């Protein structure tokens, strides 16, 4: 009889954990508080380190049906509009790292993972129920759901996001920190944009106290736009998504190049709307015990929420799941030792990605001499400093 893992959270991390557990010959009971599985309209960049994990799960074909494959990663000045550096993607990334660099609509990635779990008899997906608390005794983990059900299992995975109830019980370290950065997000139909504003590349526009990212998703039919600025967060942080005011965003972009301002202003005409997300994170992971204790393990944003300046939030959750699969497959070890092995193999890499994301944020938003040095380095070295071999080569 297979062991049973209980998973809190039905987002990308929770679904990835379910796939990993099934492949390790475990039964799965997943609990999602929403009435249906869905994801908000935002884009995700998947580096070759992440694409390799999805390929290993047999998901290459469905992945290729929904992704966009950008031709290059560009860094440009948000002030002058000039290109500062360029890194070729496409075949170059496949040759170096064994997989491509793709961009995807968050909802498409979520649906792809969910489809992989449909009709799998070992998987039980429970909607309208979250995991409220847990207790561990005599090698058994017991959860209490939001509907007051008690359910037993052999392990519990907390994949319940940046405000994780599982983390709160396991670590008791309070809410995530407010970063002082605000993300304005929009998704538009490329065909409804003027041709000069369409793109098949990933472009980062770097400016003082702000930066913007644009890239294609969903086979290039849509364009994902994100503008991140320094500014105070809305008072109500319990709801991450807030209506954004276009004049406020344009005020932040005052002094930037005409291309970037035109792109932002065309969002309503191209079927999109600006939404506002206060960026939250935590200090980098400092030990394996912050990711696993006893029969409970954390993964994704529950374990290591990070700023989006390395484009690896979803990627690290998928890497976590791949390592979880390896650990759960160690059938000669006690479950607590398997989860400890998972945490030991993940915490330092996650911490490094968190730290680099913090550093990138300072570089992207730099002013004065730091901004001058950044631009000079990009002009001189281009792709050589935009490539991240330790990240793209790294194993989960």
Q: Which residue has the tokens 């064994």?
A: 98
- pLDDT digits over 328-368, tens only? 999 999 999 999 999 999 999 999 999 999 999 999 999 99
HSE-CB for 123 with a 13 A CA cutoff? 24
Residue 180 backbone class (left: φ over 0; alpha: ψ -120 to 50; beta: rest): left
The segments of the chain whose pLDDT lies below 50 read 396
235/208 Cα distance (integer angstroms): 25
- For residues 58 and 47, what is the distance between their CA atoms, to the nearest angstrom? 17
% of residues, the chain, pLDDT over 90: 88
Examine the domain organization and report whether 226 and 353 are in the same domain: no
- pLDDT at position 277: 84
Residues 206, 311 share a domain? no
Please give the Cα distance from 288 to 343 (Å, whole number).
5
Q: Does 54 share its domain with 68?
A: yes
Question: Smallest Cα–Cα separation from 297: which of 175, 163, 177, 160?
Answer: 160
Question: Smallest Cα–Cα separation from 11: which of 345, 390, 349, 313?
Answer: 313
46 within 8 A of 102, measured Cβ to Cβ: yes
Same domain, 31 and 159: yes
8 Å CB contact between 93 and 48: yes
Q: What is the CA radius of gyration of the chain?
A: 21
Do residue 217 and residue 343 come from a single domain? Answer: no
Nearest to 254 by CA among 188, 308, 209: 209
Beta strands in 62-190 (DSSP E): 72-77, 83-88, 102-105, 123-126, 131-137, 140-145, 150-153, 155-158, 177-189
d(C-alpha 232, C-alpha 216), whole Å: 29
**E strand or H helix at 173, and its extent?**
none
CA angle 21, 25, 29 (to 5 degrees): 50
The 10 Å Cβ neighbour count of residue 310 is: 23
The CATH number covering residue 88 comes to 3.30.9.30
Predicted confidence (pLDDT) per residue in 93-102, tens digit: 999 999 999 9
* 215 assigned to active site: yes
Alpha helices in 127-276 (DSSP H): 165-171, 246-252, 258-265
Residues 245 and 267 in one domain: yes
Single out the residue of 41, 61, 83, 98 nearest to residue 217, CA to CA. 41
> Distance of alpha carbon 382 from its chain centroid, rounded?
25
The predicted-structure confidence for 115-169, as pLDDT tens digits, reads as follows: 999 989 999 999 999 999 999 999 999 999 999 999 999 999 999 999 999 999 9
Q: Pairing between strand 155-158 and 177-189?
A: unpaired
Check whether residue 275 and residue 286 sit in a common domain: no
DSSP string covering 318-345: HHHHHHHHHHHT-TTS-HHHHHHHHHHH
For the chain, the domain total comes to: 2
Check residue 395 and give its pLDDT. Answer: 56
pLDDT at position 183, please?
Answer: 92
Tokens of 214: 């644009």
- Same domain for 274 and 297, yes or no, is no
Same domain, yes or no: 202 and 337: no
Q: 242 and 297: one domain?
A: no
> Domain containing 239: what range?
41-119+177-281+366-395
**Candidate list 97, 101, 184, 215, residue with the active-site label:** 215
Mean pLDDT of the chain: 94
Q: What is the CATH number of the domain that holds 328?
A: 3.50.50.60
293 neighbors 170 (Cβ within 8 angstroms) = yes
Q: Within this chain, do residues 78 and 204 fall inside the same structural domain, yes or no?
A: yes
* 205 & 351 share domain: no
């Amino acid at each position: 009889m297979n062991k049973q893992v209980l998973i809190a959270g039905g987002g990308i991390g929770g679904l990835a954990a379910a796939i990993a557990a099934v492949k390790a010959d475990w039964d799965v009971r997943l609990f999602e508080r929403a009435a249906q599985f869905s994801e908000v309209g935002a884009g995700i960049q998947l580096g070759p380190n992440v694409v390799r994990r999805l390929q290993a799960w047999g998901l290459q074909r469905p992945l290729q049906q929904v992704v966009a494959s950008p031709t290059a990663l560009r860094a440009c000045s948000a002030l002058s509009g000039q290109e500062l550096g360029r890194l070729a993607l496409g075949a170059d990334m496949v040759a170096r790292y064994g997989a491509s660099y793709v961009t995807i609509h968050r909802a498409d990635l979520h649906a792809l993972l969910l489809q992989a779990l449909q009709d799998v008899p070992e998987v039980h997906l429970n909607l309208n129920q979250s995991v409220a608390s847990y207790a561990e005794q005599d090698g058994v983990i017991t959860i209490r759901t939001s509907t007051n059900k008690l359910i037993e299992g052999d392990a519990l995975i907390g994949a319940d996001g940046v405000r994780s109830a599982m983390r709160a019980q396991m670590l008791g370290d309070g809410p995530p920190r407010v970063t002082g950065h605000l993300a304005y997000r929009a998704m538009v139909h490329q065909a409804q944009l003027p041709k000069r504003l369409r793109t098949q590349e990933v472009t980062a526009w770097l400016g003082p106290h702000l930066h913007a990212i644009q890239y294609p998703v969903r086979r290039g039919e849509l364009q994902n736009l994100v503008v991140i600025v320094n500014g105070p967060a809305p008072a109500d942080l319990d709801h991450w998504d807030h209506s954004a005011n276009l004049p406020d965003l344009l005020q932040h972009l005052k002094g930037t190049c005409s291309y970037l301002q035109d792109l932002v202003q065309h969002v309503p005409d191209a079927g999109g709307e600006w939404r506002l997300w206060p960026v939250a994170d935590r200090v980098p992971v400092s030990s394996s015990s912050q990711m696993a204790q006893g029969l409970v393990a954390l993964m994704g944003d529950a374990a290591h929420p990070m700023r989006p300046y390395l484009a690896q939030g979803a990627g690290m959750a998928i890497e976590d799941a791949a390592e979880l699969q390896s650990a759960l497959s160690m059938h000669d070890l006690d479950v607590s030792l398997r989860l400890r092995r998972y945490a030991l193999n993940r915490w330092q890499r996650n911490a490094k990605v968190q730290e680099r994301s913090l550093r990138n944020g300072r570089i992207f938003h730099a002013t004065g001499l730091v901004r001058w040095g950044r631009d000079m380095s990009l002009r001189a070295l281009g792709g050589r400093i935009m490539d991240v071999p330790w990240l793209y080569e790294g194993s989960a």
